[in-house]
Amino acid sequence: MQKRKLGNSGLEVSAIGLGCMGLSYGYGPATDTQQAIQLIRSAFERGITFFDTAEAYGPYKNETLLGEALAPIRDQVVIATKFGFDFDDAGGQSGMNSRPEHIKAVAEAALKRLKTDRIDLFYQHRVDPNVPIEEVAGTVKELIQQGKVKHFGLSEAGAQTICRAHAVQPVTALQSEYSLWWREPEKEILPTLEELGIGFVPFSPLGKGFLTGAINESTTFDSTDFRNVVPRFAPEARKANQDLVAILGELAARKKVTRGQLALAWLLAQKPWIVPIPGTTKLHRLEENAGAAAVTLTPEELRDINGALSHFTVQGERYPAHLQARVGR
């Protein structure tokens, strides 16, 4: 597995990471703990050294799982987690909270759950409109000075917020959605990151599974699956978006790779400081995703992909309105 550096920070990670959320939360029932631990360790055996979690995934369960799975190899991996929410007694999100004292408390709790003495990359999960980003950056700077955190990250932040935060404490990475069916970051975000020397960590690089071809209009999701509320996953949108999957299938067949590998290789080809973090609960998908790091697309192939997709408009919003309101501040 090739390595990449996230911007100018010097933080080196595997070219493809593992998004761990789906093992505990978001996409139906949680994976059996021992199976999940085995999958995480299998990822490491395949060269993946970058693991992404958050207190919100569960809440708390995913960090605990990751801490147990990575304990024997802690010094050989990079762990990213996140702060920024309050939770009610039932485990639901009850609002944003990036107040300094809360960030510090979350860091202490995360260190215990992750069985570690430092968080390699600590992201603000969503921009909190009630706390100036300078205060957030300053608080993480303190944690870095104390050795509890190594690097500061933002998630789904807008260009202006990124610049303001970076002026207080250099931002190592931005995590936001980016894929062949969500290219919004190309307008403002990628140029901003390039200018400031910040790495980019795309989540949902496979379109929450859709770009693999494993989902069609008749697919049913578990009642706890987040995709049930996503407009882009409404049956009529899935039907309309099958044309995109068909195009990817043709291009992938020509390259003798899978659709998922093509989608990941396309992301890797955009910038040398982009590190996608596909998630999965299945070993064969993990192997497939890891294999994408070895797929090199020629300039001609990239032109073919962009040309083929330029005629296609993806149907459906990527978030319901209440979640979209939290994005890109």
Whole-angstrom Cα distance, residue 139 to residue 84? 13
Cα-based distances in Å from 35 to 47, 71, 165, 267, 268? 19, 16, 39, 29, 29
- Reply yes or no on whether 57 is catalytic: yes
CA–CA gap between residue 214 and residue 211 (Å, rounded): 8
DSSP, res 182: B
Instruction: Give me the phi and psi of 14, to 5 degrees please.
Output: -65, 150
Cα 1 from chain centroid (whole Å): 19
Q: Give the CA count within 13 Å in the CB-facing half-sphere of 211.
A: 27
Under 8 Å between Cβ of 109 and 59: no
Dist. CA 208–CA 280, nearest whole Å: 10
CB atoms within 10 A of CB 230: 18
Check 25, 27, 57, 123 and give the catalytic one: 57
What is d(CA 24, CA 62) in angstroms, rounded to the nearest whole number?
A: 6
Catalytic residues: 57
